[in-house]
A and B are shown apart, each in its own frame.
Chain A
Amino acid sequence: VCIHRVRSCSGIHFIKSKYVCVFDKSALKFSHQQRLFRTSAVSCGQIVQFKLSDIGEGITEVTVKEWYIKEGDSVSQFDSICEVQSDKASVTITSRYDGIIRKLHYNLDEIAYVGKPLVDIEIDASKGVSPEEDVVETPPMSHEEHTHQEIKGHKTLATPAVRRLAMENNIKLSEVVGTGKDNRILKEDILNYLAKQTGAILPPSPKAEIIPPLPKSETVPAAPKDRAHKIPVPVSRPIVFSGKDKTEPITGFQKAMVKTMSAALKIPHFGYCDEIDLTQLVQLREELKPLAQIRGVKLSFMPFFIKAASLGLLQYPILNASLDESCQNVTYKASHNIGVAMDTEQGLIVPNVKNVQVSSVFEIASELNRLQSLGSAGQLGTNDLSGGTFTLSNIGTIGGTYAKPVILPPEVAIGALGKIQVLPRFNGKGEVFKAQIMNVSWSADHRIIDGATMARFSNLWKSYLENPASMLLDLK
């Protein structure tokens, strides 16, 4: 893209700014800028029509496909303005000026013409880009090097990032002493200037990315050395932080969670916690893991927890029930569809293993593998995600010991499993031994479940896991 130095006003067409200031004596302060304005009008900013430049290959028209900015946004030189398309080529149009977008000449999908105005930009008066002098861009090769900016007739060298830092802090580059090569203004110079002004040490503005060290030929010692020798004087430091709060609407998946959890809130929860000695189970699993591997299944602890829960539910079916909305009827569910909470990119999903009451530990493990791989691929179906009657959440894989899980309606109970820790415990002989301890936290619906029932269920579940051989007696 060639930038033309505008000798006369033919290239740029001026429109009277909407924001016309009253010309009074106070304007004399800016008298040195008078020569930059046309005599007929004084405006706070000049509106420049930025035309669509040549695309190449003789193309005269393009379609506007996306706007990156809207009217009222401020832009810096080289910021992307829009994306246009012509005959399989997608072109990013970038701004030639710093300023505020005042008008977009095209809507999306409209045809834009090369050489015709694309947007109107109001250029900041204090920056004083004169009508006679265009912003001079050095030939494209130096877009990674420093660009020149003509301000009030004399060149001020600074990279666009440094100029943006200056603009954000309302600093006139002409007032900053450049310590770089050719009196180039560096980021340190801006920061020093600011520090002198406010007596503060400002953190870099969050918008400016970390600027890598300049190539060796350009480096200059940072802050002036003599500062290091001064005794620091405590000065009240105005903290400058330009981060902004970000508000966005809750949509889709999160909305559904809000609904579910609000419904869960209506359930009076009570909690019951305990600790389980998994030493024997750990050993058993070690023995069974390779066997499962041969059959192509990864065996974790969950299948055991799930099966043990199902055995417990056979004795305490109220925990596998559902209370209707009016709290008039309890439905005892025949199937044990045990849900397993899964953490995915979108958030919490709870697929369930169907009919655990008639499944072997191996079958449960296999089904879990299937659900886990579908879950991580984001391909779980509605069938896998609905129909659950009881839930286990293995939060311990992430961390934690005790938890306070929230019941997922229409269920009436849920268990959260903490991480397995190696802890010292006393055995029957009073000796200390190494035990694999896991904590479980149950929550249940106190409208139909009482503490005693929950405690007995938990004890039964615990006994199956602490002594896995006892599961054999009751396996169906």
Chain B
Amino acid sequence: MVLQASLKNCLQLSCILRTPKVGFRSTTSGSLIIQSTSDDVYQNLAVEDWIHDHMNLENRQVLFLWRNSPAVVIGRHQNPWQECNLRLLRQKNIKLARRRSGGGTVYHDLGNINLTFFTSRKKYERMENLKLVVKALKALRPELDVHVTDRYDILLDRHYKISGTAAKLGRTAAYHHCTLLCNADKFVLSSVLKSPYKGIKSNATPSVPASVKNLFEEDPSLTCEMLLDAIAEEYATQHQTDHHITLINPADETVLPGINNKTKELQTWEWVYGKTPKFSVSTCFNMVYKDSVLDVKVDMDVKHGRIEVCNIDLPEQWLPPAVCSELVKSLTGSKFCPNETTTLAATLLRVCPQDAELQSRWNLLCENMIMLM
């Protein structure tokens, strides 16, 4: 049966958990270790949401293990333009996701593992979880110099960050998730997490940059599978449960009713970009046009990812004022998005005077505006 939204009030998950074919074990108490069969960041984030919303965590705790194909994940209240190089992401087809927990921006690829500790709200305790991870790492490789800081990071050799943490608390349940760098592509990581956008003023949570290192660099014999296994083992021991990892498919509606809607929501523009706290862009750029260089100053206020206010300062008469104000009027209310702006600019060009000179100036200005997004 596929159940509609608003299941929070009515779903008795225990009846699903009791179904043998699903693979969850029989009792409604005792801890559970599950691993995702998917490497799609949106599907995996949706699983977190689902467990948070629908599972009864009063008497049980869950450890969720997952990995993603290349993606940048920003925190709930962050500004993607401030945090990463969106142009590069689009070029390289790297996904952008916004998670529901707080914290900073991270880069995921298959060389990074993600761990989510689900508990009831009362039993929410991040230090314990991180100490568990460190214990697992030390059990696997005793010579590793890893420790937990009071900022809930895990550092290697006292200096390099190998894990970052974030958490989400709801009314009755909570989760704490963290990353663990095993063998991620540090080159891509550093290039995508560097924002080229200038002049952004925002109250969004900023990320704190840190030097990172892969565990693989410390010990080339380590693989993600080994780390996942060691952590699952330690979790099983501490929670007195089977070291049995249940695989779940994040696209399976019979096990996770309503999951596909959650996945879809996480992919919407309104969630990924529209949830950015209000910010302003105040910048200037140079345009080279036929042997002259022009200074253009742009000021924009962006709310819910849409341009609320737009101001473009051009050298006088470079574009007919009517044309320029047409551009500003159309940008106002539209998404702060290169695709939307491109389409808008091209469409408006149709109703501009059909003058080649004018059209090439228009295209130049629009291309520069698009670069800001």
* Chain A residues near B (Cβ < 8 Å): 1, 55-57, 65-66, 78, 83, 85-92, 94, 108-109, 139-141, 143-145, 159-161, 208-212, 214-216, 249, 251-253, 255-257, 259-260, 263, 322, 324-325, 331, 346, 349, 377-383, 385-386, 408-410
Contacts and interface: CB of A to CB of B under 8 A. Distances in A.
B203 A214 contact: no
A409 B77 contact: no
A386 B121 contact: no
Contact of B169 (A89, A214, A260, A382): A89
Question: What 10 pairs between A and B have smallest CB-CB spacing?
Answer: A252-B334, A385-B346, A251-B333, A141-B58, A140-B172, A90-B102, A88-B103, A89-B167, A209-B6, A256-B347
Contacts of A209: 4-6
Contacts of B347: 253, 256-257, 259-260, 385
A346 B12 contact: no
**Max chain B CB contacts within 10 Å: which of A55, A256, A259?**
A256
B85 interface: no
Given A1-B121, A65-B277, A141-B58, A89 B168 contact: yes
**Max chain A CB contacts within 10 Å: which of B5, B330, B344, B354?**
B344
Given A92-B171, A140-B171, A209-B5, 17 more contacts: A56-B121, A65-B77, A90-B166, A109-B203, A140-B58, A140-B172, A144-B9, A144-B13, A208-B6, A212-B1, A251-B333, A252-B333, A256-B348, A260-B347, A381-B342, A382-B366, A382-B367
B346 A66 contact: no
Interface string B306-350: 100000000000000000000001111111000110111111111
B120 interface: yes
Nearest to B165: A88
A259 B171 contact: no
B287 interface: no
B10 interface: yes
A144 B56 contact: yes
A109 B367 CA distance: 34
25 contacts: A57-B124, A86-B102, A88-B75, A90-B100, A91-B169, A139-B58, A143-B8, A143-B9, A143-B172, A161-B6, A208-B6, A209-B5, A212-B7, A249-B333, A253-B340, A255-B333, A256-B347, A259-B347, A259-B348, A259-B351, A260-B350, A380-B343, A382-B342, A382-B370, A386-B363
Nearest to B169: A91
Contact of B166 (A89, A141, A161, A251): A89
Interface string B88-113: 00100000000011111000000000
B170 interface: yes
Contacts of B75: 88, 90
Given A56-B124, A139-B58, A383-B363, A253 B6 contact: no
A359 to B, nearest CB: 21
Contacts of B340: 252-253, 346
**Max chain B CB contacts within 10 Å: which of A55, A56, A90, A324?**
A90
Given A161-B9, A215-B15, A386-B359, A252 B330 contact: yes
A251 B337 CA distance: 13
B-side interface size class? 35 or more
Given A85-B205, A325-B353, A140 B167 contact: no
Contacts of B77: 65-66, 83, 85, 90
Interface string B247-262: 0000000000000000
Given A57-B126, A90-B168, A386-B359, A256 B3 contact: no
Interface of B: 1, 3-13, 15, 54, 56, 58-59, 75-77, 90, 100-104, 120-122, 124-126, 152, 165-174, 203, 205, 275, 277-278, 306, 329-335, 339-340, 342-351, 353-354, 359, 363, 366-367, 370
Given A90-B167, A255-B330, A346-B339, A409 B350 contact: yes
Contacts of A143: 8-9, 171-172
A85 B152 CA distance: 15
A171 B82 CA distance: 50
Nearest to A143: B172
B334 A253 contact: yes
Contact of A83 (B11, B76, B120): B76
A166 B94 CA distance: 48
Given A57-B124, A256-B343, A331-B354, A88 B172 contact: no
**Max chain B CB contacts within 10 Å: which of A55, A57, A144, A346?**
A144
A57 B120 CA distance: 14
Given A90-B77, A143-B8, A159-B9, A379 B90 contact: yes
Contacts of A251: 306, 332-334
A144 B363 contact: no
A315 B147 CA distance: 78
A88 B152 contact: yes
Given A89-B166, A252-B340, A255-B333, A409 B351 contact: yes
Given A56-B169, A141-B59, A382-B366, A211 B10 contact: yes
A379 B10 contact: no
Contact of B8 (A86, A88, A144, A325): A144
A274 to B, nearest CB: 27
Nearest to B366: A382
Contacts of B350: 260, 263, 408-410
Given A141-B58, A251-B333, A263 B306 contact: no
Contacts of A212: 1, 3-4, 7, 10-11
Contacts of A216: 15
Contacts of B165: 88
A256 B344 contact: yes
Nearest to A257: B347
Contacts of A383: 363
B354 A346 contact: no
A388 B172 CA distance: 58
Contacts of B173: 140
A214 B1 CA distance: 13
A186 to B, nearest CB: 11
